[in-house]
Amino acid sequence: MGKLLGLALVGILAAFLVERLMEFRSKCNASRELEPVELPNCRLIKGIETGSEDIDILPNGLAFISSGLKYPMLKSFAPDKPGEILLMDLNDGNPRAIELRISRGFDLTSFNPHGISTYIDTDDSVYLFVVNHPEFKSTVEVFKFVEDDNSLVHLKTIRHELLSSVNDVVALGPDHFYATNDKYFSDYIFILLEWFFGLGWSNVVYYSPTEVKEVASGFYFANGINISPDRKYVYIADMLAHSIHVMEKHANWSLTELKVLELDTLVDNLVVDPYTEDIWGGCHPNGMKLLFYDPENPPGSEVLRIQNILSAKPTVTKVYAENGSVLQGSSVAAVYSGKLLIGTVFHRALYCQL
Ligand SMILES: *[C@@H]1O[C@H](CO)[C@@H](O)[C@H](O)[C@H]1NC(C)=O
Ligand SMILES: *[C@@H]1O[C@H](CO)[C@@H](O)[C@H](O)[C@H]1NC(C)=O
Ligand SMILES: CC(=O)N[C@H]1CO[C@H](CO)[C@@H](O)[C@@H]1O
């Protein structure tokens, strides 16, 4: 009797694990094959070989790029090289990426930049918020950009228990922001379990010097976050759920969900075009290839443009799709005046004329 019961339990457990595994593979869209969508006028950006994970472009055409991310379980082509912030002037006919100098006193050796966001203050000061993972911890660094000498002055490091596993930020002012925590656990084995069991413990936090609170929860992997040009709506990419959540922002900074847009790809960072209000997503067509890197069969790249997200039928256009022979693991796409920049988690970056 005891033996039978034991066997039955093992059987149920095995069935459960197989079911979870199938579900996880489907979350990663593991069997997805990529149909290429080409863009004719693209070139790789010189000097970017080890990632361009997030990009934010100022209304004047200056593009900030975070490079050199080290993230648990993901590939890095330069694991011992500190990360950096690059700048490109998209008004230049043949723009180059240059490294921004960072003011003394900031620990450059452990710099591991991830999501970034700019904020222009009423006096035209430009603030750059950077998610950082020194020793795989999470902080948000606030810099002031000095255009005269292409440098960043470090203003402060923000740490908080609610900012435990930050992926991306969107700046709301010189000292407050929303941030996504992409996972609950920080140890590899627990992270895998969290994804495997689809716990949905990833969330969004509002931070200001006087108040820090969770404003949205229940995501499988909250990744990119951004805000509409009128600053009324907040967009959150849930990568493992293949969706973008449209949230309404309230005066007390709380968020309520308006709608969820389902996609068939793993959306990473979101960039909003300030002129057209279109949302651009850097996406991972196949999450398994990203997690288990194989140079013979690398992760591909995919860029989506979403128009009229608030309407009953938003238009989703696949602008670019490539199998990884040119660009591996696209994480962001940003536009400025007919030009498109596509960044990647750990690989190169592409500059295209649309
Ligand atoms: C924040 O504002 C919204 C909308 O006005 C309201 O529904 C919600 O209860 C408020 N939350 C708090 C914590 O005051
Ligand atoms: C990717 O596509 C290119 C051409 O588009 C092709 O030559 C190459 O074999 C493909 N690579 C893989 C891994 O499928
Ligand atoms: C779960 C999921 O999003 N699956 C998608 C994987 O990719 C194919 C396209 O190759 C889609 O049709 C599926 O919907």
Q: Is 114 in the pocket of ligand 3 (CB under 6 A)?
A: no
CA 25 to chain centre: 21
**Tokens linked to 56:** 């934010």
Chain segment 266-300, per-residue pLDDT in tens: 999 999 999 999 999 999 999 999 999 999 999 99
Q: Is residue 245 among the annotated active site residues? A: no
* 29 Cα nearest atom in ligand 3: 6
Q: What is the pLDDT of residue 287?
A: 92
Chain segment 221-233, per-residue pLDDT in tens: 999 999 999 999 9
Chain segment 88-128, per-residue pLDDT in tens: 999 998 999 999 999 999 999 999 999 999 999 999 999 99
Q: What is the pLDDT of residue 1?
A: 62
CA 172 to chain centre: 17
Residue 3 predicted with pLDDT over 90: no
Nearest CA to ligand 3 atom 3: 264
The rounded Å distance from CA 175 to ligand 1 centre is: 22
* 35 Cα nearest atom in ligand 3: 10
Chain segment 124-158, per-residue pLDDT in tens: 999 999 999 999 999 999 999 999 999 999 999 99
Q: Is 328 in the pocket of ligand 2 (CB under 6 A)?
A: no
Residue 47 predicted with pLDDT over 80: yes
3-class SS of residue 148: helix
The C-alpha torsion from 184 through 191 and 108 to 146, rounded to 10°, is -50
| Amino acid identity at 125 | S
For residues 322 and 193, the model is more confident at 322
Q: Is 96 in the pocket of ligand 1 (CB under 6 A)?
A: no
- Segment 172-176 mean pLDDT: 96
For residues 116 and 16, the model is more confident at 116
* 254 Cα nearest atom in ligand 1: 1
Task: Quickly count: other Cβ atoms within 10 Å of residue 247's Cβ.
Answer: 23
Residue 195 predicted with pLDDT over 80: yes
pLDDT over 90 for what percent of the chain? Answer: 84
Residue 26 predicted with pLDDT over 90: no
Cβ atoms of 22 and 285 within 8 Å: the answer is no
Nearest CA to 103 out of 44, 153, 54 is that of 153
Categorize the per-residue pLDDT at 24 as very low, low, confident or very high, splitting at 50, 70 and 90.
confident
Strand partners, 202: 219
Q: Is 242 in the pocket of ligand 3 (CB under 6 A)?
A: yes
Nearest bound ligand to the CA of residue 25: 3
* 34 Cα nearest atom in ligand 3: 10
pTM above 0.85, yes or no: yes
Task: Quickly count: other Cβ atoms within 10 Å of residue 105's Cβ.
Answer: 7
Q: What is the pLDDT of residue 334?
A: 98
- Domains, the chain, ordered by start: 32-353 (2.120.10.30)
Q: Is 264 in the pocket of ligand 3 (CB under 6 A)?
A: yes
Residue 2 predicted with pLDDT over 80: no
Task: Quickly count: other Cβ atoms within 10 Å of residue 82's Cβ.
Answer: 15
Ligand 1 pocket check: which of 211, 254, 255 to mutate, most ligand atoms within 8 Å of Cβ?
Answer: 254
For residues 34 and 258, the model is more confident at 258
Nearest bound ligand to the CA of residue 251: 1
Q: What is the pLDDT of residue 8?
A: 84
Residue 348 predicted with pLDDT over 90: yes
CA distance linking residue 288 with residue 282, whole number of Å: 16
Residue 215 predicted with pLDDT over 90: yes
Cβ atoms of 274 and 293 within 8 Å: the answer is no
